[in-house]
Structures are given as C-alpha cells and as structure tokens.
Structure 1
Amino acid sequence: MASSVFYSFHYERDVNRVQLVQNINALEGQPLLTPQAWESVRRRGTAAVAEWIDEQMKYKKAVIVLVGRETASRDWVQYEINKAWADKRPLLGIAIHGLSSFGSVDSAGPNPFDAAGLPASRIPLFDPTQRDYLGRIDSKATYTRLADSLVTWSTMGVVRK
C-alpha cells in the first residue's frame, strides 16, 4: 500500500490521538483541521462535509480507520468506510484507544466495520495496545509498537474486487 492514506476517525474524541499517529511520519495523511476549521465545514451542512471528505479521499491510496471508543457510532466514519468500500480502496482499522490523550488512555470501542455492515472478519483491525505487568495500558509502549508496525500494517488493507 502506498504512503498516502486517508485517516477516518471521531474528531472530537480522538483528534489528539490522531495527531500522535500523524507525528510518526510514516504515512502521509490528509491535513488535520483545527477545531475552528472543522466547525466551519460542519456549519455549512452535510453536503459540505461530504464534499470535504470526498475531496480529501480522492487521491489517497488507502483508508485507515483509527478506532477509538466511539468511532463505530459516528455517522461520518460510517460514510468514509462505505465510500472507501464503494471506491474499492484498500481499507483497514487500527485501534488507538491505548494512545494517551492529555495523559489518559481510553477503553476499546466496537469494530466500525461491523457497524457499517461490511464483512468485518475480512477487514483487518490491528491493535497495538501494550500492557504493563499489572495489566494496565502502557501508552508509551503502545505508541512504540504502533510506530514500529504502522507501515507494515498499512500494506495489509483489504481491497474489494
């Protein structure tokens, strides 16, 4: 898979975790909007949001869903998953709940591919989450595993034929 990807995620809850993923600098993703810019797009209505997504996804070679606790329930994530599937773009998921956002980690969320009605068993969902000897999520070790694995995992997305 190429180094140019579209990241799908729940903006309000996970943007800080997504910034960590982008800071790995292993893949080229779409620019992250500031909260004000995202609100500006959203205020223009659903057609404007869909247009922004379509334009950002247009030249990307794959779609990576960055899965947090509430990602599966987000309408725009579902739109992005279904668009990737319809466009026959490579598609995969990576769990990000184990990355730190302002010093705290989150719990895992449901599989967003199930929620989209796609054959989730065929779409890889990687989880870099690492735990310490007490079973607590170790966000630094999780980040290191993600950094070490991101490029490899990005080559394993499912392409619909």
Structure 2
Amino acid sequence: MGKIDSQPILTGNKWEEVRRGGDKAIKKWIDDQMVGKSCLVVLVGTRTAERRWVQYEIKRAWEERLGVVGVRIHGLKNLRGLTSNRGDNPFAGFTLKSTALSKIVTLHDPFGFDSKSVYADINDRLEDLVEEAISIRDQF
C-alpha cells in the first residue's frame, strides 16, 4: 500500500528461518521488530484471533506503549483470487482494568463492494487509523 514505507516485508523463507529458532527466537524477532515503532497494525483475517504469535504481538505492543489498531482483510482477494470469512476480534481476549481491549482498540472493517474498493478504503484510511491508535494509547 505504501502507507507504512519503512516496514520490511517478511517472506515465507525468513519466517521459517526465525521459526526454526524456537519460541525464544520468535519472541526476540517480534520484540526487535517493534523497536522504534509507534504502532502495531494487526491485519485481521479468518484465523488471526487464534494465532499465538499475534496474541503475543498485541500484548507486547500494548506493554511497550505502542498504538494498536486492527484492520479486517477478509474482503481482500488472496493469491487464488478468493476472499475469506470474517474472523473474530483478536483484541477480545485481553482486558485492561476490567475493560476488554476490544472496547478500546479500533478494529476497522473496510467498506467496499469488491476487493479493489476494500483495498482502496484501507489505503485511504490507514494513516488516520494509525494516528488515532497512537492517540488512544496515550490515554491509557
């Protein structure tokens, strides 16, 4: 999208290399990726909420005082040209002083009648969503 320019793309090969190092290596890699960042953007697909390392990222980002925002991507086509089902809210499993994180963190559900319009909505809104997430985090 070009909205988050300095974030490198993680290739499948690189992820496998990190994963082979075990849990400690994965945690270190995630922690290292957060250094110098101001916001975590969670791309929410069908199974994102149940992913162990996504949960770790959310927890660590909040602990490190990063803004946190989710963007639903079920309306985008995958490599096979198919869209997927809407996934659960990955922030629902966290609480902050008895308030569900899902009541604090924005989970953007892009508007669009097809993959192109969903993509355009994400592209148009992402910068504002990140700024809003940083502002929200500053309140807690």
Fold-level similarity (TM above 0.5): yes
- Equivalenced residues, count: 132
User: Aligned Cα RMSD in Å?
Assistant: 1.4
Q: Distance in 2 between matches of 1:159 and 1:96?
A: 23
- Whether 1:146 and 2:122 are equivalent positions in the alignment is yes
Q: Distance in 2 between matches of 1:33 and 1:64?
A: 14
Aligned positions of 1:28-47 closer than 5 A: 28=5, 30-47=7-24
Are 1:99 and 1:105, in contact at CA under 8 Å, matched by a contact in 2? yes
Aligned with residue 56 of structure 2, among 79, 98, 122 = 79
Aligned with residue 130 of structure 1, among 109, 112, 130 = 112
Deviation at 1:115, TM superposition (A): 2.4
Structure 1 unaligned spans of 5+: 1-23, 132-137
- Whether 1:120 and 2:102 are equivalent positions in the alignment is yes
Residue 13 of structure 1 is matched in structure 2 by none
What's the secondary structure of 1:31's corresponding residue? coil
Aligned positions of 1:1-161 closer than 5 A: 24-28=1-5, 30-102=7-79, 103-117=81-95, 118-131=100-113, 138-157=114-133, 158-159=136-137, 161=140
Structure 2 unaligned spans of 5+: none
Residue 135 of structure 1 is matched in structure 2 by none
Deviation at 1:29, TM superposition (A): 5.2
Deviation at 1:116, TM superposition (A): 3.3
Amino acid across the alignment from 1:120: S
Q: Distance in 1 between matches of 2:34 and 2:5?
A: 12
Residue 19 of structure 1 is matched in structure 2 by none
Q: TM-score, normalised by structure 1?
A: 0.77
Q: Distance in 2 between matches of 1:29 and 1:77?
A: 20
